[in-house]
Chains A and B, each alone.
Chain A
Amino acid sequence: MTKSANGKNGVPPQLKKSPTGIEGLDEVTGGGLPTGRPTIVCGGPGCGKTMLSIEFLVRGATQFDEPGVFMAFEETPEDLAQNVASLGFDLLDLAARKKLFLDYVHVERIEIQETGEYDLEGLFIRLQHAIDSVGAKRVVLDTLEALFSGFSNPGILRAELRRLFRWLKDRNMTTVITAERGDGALTRYGLEEYVSDCVIVLDHRVAGQLSTRRLRIVKYRGSVHGTNEYPFLIDENGISVLPITSFGLNYRASTQRISSGIPDLDDLLEGKGYYRGSTVLVSGTAGSGKTSIASHFAEAACRRQERALYLSFEESVAQLARNMRSIGVDLEPWVKKGLLQFHGIRPTEHGLEMHLARLHKMVDQFKPRVVVVDPITNLISGDGDREIQSMLMRLIDFLKANQITAVFTSLTASGKHAEQSEVGISSLIDTWIVLRELEENGERNRGLYVVKSRGMAHSNQVREFLLTDRGVRLVPAALGAAGVHTASASKKNRLERIIGPKKQKRRSRQRSAVARIRKTAAGDQGKPFLAKAAGENR
C-alpha cells in the first residue's frame, strides 16, 4: 500500500480524486478517478476504451494542467492523432507543447528470440523518460495486454506487471489501463487482479439491432460511486456519460400557466392552458391531429419568446413545416430566429437509452423551455414495457427538474381503446388529451377530450376537433340522444333544435321526394341499390 500524498500527520487520509473532465463521468464517480492510483477500463472491441483514455489525458492536459503520457501498444501516434482529430483533439499539437507525451510500443513476438532471464526494465525506463519529459501526472497504457502476445514467459510478465503497477503508484501517477474484456472475467488476462482500486466496464450492446454504449463502475475502492449502467455517447465533443437515474421526485411545481397554443383547448383547461413544467400526453389514432396540437404548442412557445425543441420521429423537418403551414402554423420563421430547434431522427437510429441520452444533450445545449416529442410511441416501440416505463420516467423527471413543459404525442393502435393502450405511461402524465375518431353518418370526424389534468378543474366535454386553414378549432359538439354528434349529424341535430322536429320532418320528406325522383332516374342506369337505400331513408 502506498500512502497517498494527502494522508499526512494523523489526518485520516481521504481518497483524492482527479477529475477526468469527461462530461458526466466525474458526476458518476463522485469527482473523478483515484489520484495516484491505477484504474482499469475494460470492454470489448470498439467500446470506446481508447477514446475514454485519450479524453482523460487531453482534458487533464488542457483543463487541469496535468500533463499526461499516452503509451500505445496497438496504434502509432499518427494513427491515434488521426482517430481523435474528429473529436477536436489535436494530440500532435499537445505533444509539441509538451502537454502530452505519445509513445508507441511495438510488440511482435516473431521478431524476438528469448534466451534466458530478462525483465521489462526497458518499459519502465521508457515510461520514466516519458513522465520526466512532460512532468506527467497522468498515464495511460493502451492496451497493456499486448505484452501477453509479445512475451512467452507468463511468469516473468506477471511479476513485471505487478512491479509496474506498484511503480506507478509510487510515482503517484493517476493511471488508466485499458484492457480487453475476457470470457467470464473482466479482462482477458486477469489484469484486474493487479489493479483493484477502480474498475470501469464499457459495453457496447446491441438489442433489436440498435446499439447502445454503456458504462458501469464495477469497483471504486474507498469511494461511493453510482452503480448503475449509464449510457454514454461519443460524438464530436468527445464522450458524455449521462447519469440519468440521478433525478428524483423533488422538482419544483410551478403554478404558472402557459397556453397550449389553441385558445379552444385552453378553454377546456380552465381557460389558462397547461402548467409550466408539466407533462402533456396527446394520444390518438393515426391522422387524428396529434402533430397539429404539438405544433401549435411549439409555435405558442416561440411567440412567447421561449425556446422550443421539437423532436420529430416520423416526419422530416421540411415535411412537417409544409404540413403545418397548411393549417396556418408557420414554424419556419421561428427556426430562423433560433427559437425553435427541430430534430428529425428516425427511432431506429439508436436504442432507447441513446435517444434519451441525445435528448439530454440537446436540452443541455439548447436550453429550451418547452419540448415536443412526436411521437413518443415510435421511440419506444419494440422494447419491453418495463424499459419503456423506466425510460419515460427518467425523461419526465429530467424535464421536470429543468422546469420544461413537455408535450408527447402518442399513437394509439386503431381498434384499441385510446385509454387502454397508455396504461404504462398514463400515471406519469399530468395532462392527458385524447383524440378520437368518431364515425357517424358515413363520416369520420375527430373528437377531443381531456382525460385528466392534474391540479385543475378541466372540462369533461368532448369537443369536435377541426383542422382549419387557420389552425385547430375545437367546436362544442352537439349532444343528441345517441351521444356526441359531429359534422353533418351535428348539423342535423342543430337544425332539429332550431326549427323543431315537425318542420324537420317535413324537410326530410321533401328530401325523400327528391330521392324518389333520383331513384327513377337511377333505375334506368341500373343503380337499384343506392336508390333503394335512399328510399329507405324515408
Chain B
Amino acid sequence: MKRKVRARPRSKTQFFELRLYVAGQTPKSLTALNNLKKICKEHMDDQYRIEIIDLLANPQLARGDQILAIPTLVRNLPTPIRKIIGDLSNTEKVLVGLDLRTPSVVAGAL
C-alpha cells in the first residue's frame, strides 16, 4: 500500500517520553537504539527522553507494558500510549507510529 506522509501540526511544548525495551545487548536492540536516537534528534527538537529497559535485568517490568516482542518502543507521553516493535529501521513507519506523521492512504478512505 502506498502512503503519502505529511507533517502534523503539533505544539512546541509537546514532550516525548519514550521507553525502549531490550533484552541484553543484541544486534537488534543496538540497531533499534541507534535508529531511535537518530529519529529523535531529527524530529523532536530535544523535547524527548529515552529510557532503556533491559528485561534481562528487570523481567518483571515486561508485564506492565505488555511486552512480548523485542525490541519494543513504547511512547508513554504524549498520551495515548503507542507501541512500535522491531528494530525501527523504517523511519517513516516509526514516525507514523509515534504520531509524528499521519498516514494518508492515496486511494480510499481513512
Q: Of B11-19, B44-52, B93-101, which stretch is located at the interface?
A: B93-101
A129 B85 Cβ-Cβ under 8 A: no
Would you call A118 and B69 a contact (CB within 8 A)? yes
Question: Would you give the 0/1 interface string for B61-102, flagging 1 where the beta carbon is closer than 8 Å to chain A?
Answer: 011001111111000000001111111111001101100000
Contacts of B69 in A (CB 8 A): 112, 118-122, 151
Nearest Cβ in chain A — how far from B97, in angstroms? 3
Bound-state Cα–Cα, A150 to B68, Å: 10
Kindly identify, within residues 73 to 98 of chain A, every residue whose CB is under 8 Å from any CB belonging to chain B: none
Q: Which residue of A lies closest to B92 (CB)?
A: A115
Residue A209 at the chain B interface, CB threshold 8 Å: no
Interface residue A123 (Cβ < 8 Å from any Cβ of B) = yes
With A105-B68, A150-B68 known as contacts, the answer to whether A118 contacts B87 (CB < 8 A) is: yes
A119 to B67, CA, bound (A): 11
Asked if B86 and A116 make an inter-chain contact with CB atoms under 8 angstroms apart, the answer reads: yes
Whether the pair A113, B28 counts as a contact (CB closer than 8 A) is no
Contacts A122-B21, A122-B55, A122-B67; A114 near B62 (Cβ below 8 A): no
- Pairwise interchain contact A125-B23, C-beta atoms closer than 8 A: yes
A122 to B61 Cα, complex, angstroms: 10
- Chain B residues in 8 Å Cβ range of A115: 84-90, 93-94, 97
B69 nearest in chain A by CB position: A118
Q: Are B70 and A118 in contact (CB under 8 A)?
A: yes
Instruction: Identify A111's interface contact among B67, B83, B87, CB under 8 A.
Output: B83
Interface size bracket, B side: 20 to 34
Give chain A nearest CB distance to B42 CB in angstroms: 16
Decide: A125 near B83, CB < 8 A? Known: A113-B97, A119-B70, A120-B69: no
Given A113-B83, A115-B94, answer yes or no on A122-B68 (Cβ-Cβ < 8 Å). Answer: yes
- Contact (Cβ within 8 A) A112 B23: no
Q: Say yes or no for A107: interface residue by CB 8 A criterion.
A: yes
Residues A401-421 near B (CB distance < 8 A)? none
CA distance A117 to B32 in the complex (A): 9
**Is there an interface contact between B87 and A129, defined as CB atoms closer than 8 Å?**
no
Contact A116 B87 (CB under 8 A): yes
Q: B90 — nearest CB in chain A belongs to which residue?
A: A115
Complex: how many Å from CA A118 to CA B83? 13
Once bound together, how far apart are the Cα atoms of A125 and B28, in whole Å?
16
Q: Which of A112, A119, A123, A128 is within 8 Å of B28, CB to CB?
A: A119
Q: Are B86 and A122 in contact (CB under 8 A)?
A: no
**Interface residue? A126 (CB, 8 A):** yes
Query: Contacts of B82 on A, CB cut-off 8 Å?
Result: 111, 113
Rounded to whole angstroms, the CA-CA distance of A111 and B73 in the bound complex is 12
Chain A nearest Cβ from B53, distance in angstroms? 11
| Distance, CA A111 to CA B72, complexed state (A) | 12
CB of A106 closer than 8 Å to a CB of B = yes
Most chain B CB atoms below 10 A, which of A106, A111, A121:
A121
Q: In whole angstroms, what is the CA distance A150 to B85 when docked?
A: 11
Closest A residue to B93 using CB positions: A115
Do A107 and B68 touch across chains, with their CB atoms under 8 A apart? yes
Q: Does B56 contact A (CB under 8 A)?
A: yes
Chain B residues within an 8 Å CB radius of A129: 59-60, 62
Q: Is the CB of A116 within 8 A of B90?
A: yes
**Interface flag for A264 (CB, 8 Å):** no
Report the separation of the CA atoms of residues A120 and B62 in the bound assembly, to the nearest whole angstrom.
Answer: 12
* Contact present for A113 and B85 (CB under 8 Å): yes
Collect the chain A residues with CB atoms within 8 Å of residue B66's CB.
Answer: 105-107
| Residue from B56, B60, B67, B85 in contact with A114 in the complex, judged by beta carbons closer than 8 Å | B85
The CA of A248 and the CA of B75, in the complex, are separated in Å by: 66
Q: Does A197 contact B (CB under 8 A)?
A: no
* Residues on A with beta carbons closer than 8 Å to the beta carbon of B87: 115-118
Q: Which residue of B lies closest to A133 (CB)?
A: B60
Partner of A120, one of B56, B59, B68: B68
**A357 and B97 alpha carbons, distance in the complex (Å):** 55
Is A229 part of the binding interface, using a Cβ–Cβ cutoff of 8 Å?
no
Which residues does chain B contribute within 8 Å of A266, judged by CB atoms?
none
> B34: shortest Cβ distance to chain A, in Å?
12
Tell me the chain A residues, 112-156 only, with Cβ under 8 Å from chain B: 112-123, 125-126, 128-129, 147, 150-151
Q: What are 22 A-B pairs at a CB distance below 8 A? A: A105-B66, A105-B68, A107-B68, A111-B81, A112-B69, A113-B83, A115-B85, A116-B32, A116-B90, A117-B86, A118-B28, A118-B70, A118-B72, A120-B68, A121-B26, A121-B70, A122-B69, A123-B68, A125-B23, A125-B59, A126-B62, A126-B63
Q: Could you tell me which A residues sit within 8 Å of B by CB distance?
A: 103, 105-107, 111-123, 125-126, 128-129, 147, 150-151
* 10 A-B pairs with the lowest CB-CB distances in the bound complex, closest first: A113-B97, A129-B59, A116-B89, A116-B86, A121-B70, A116-B87, A122-B67, A115-B93, A115-B86, A115-B90
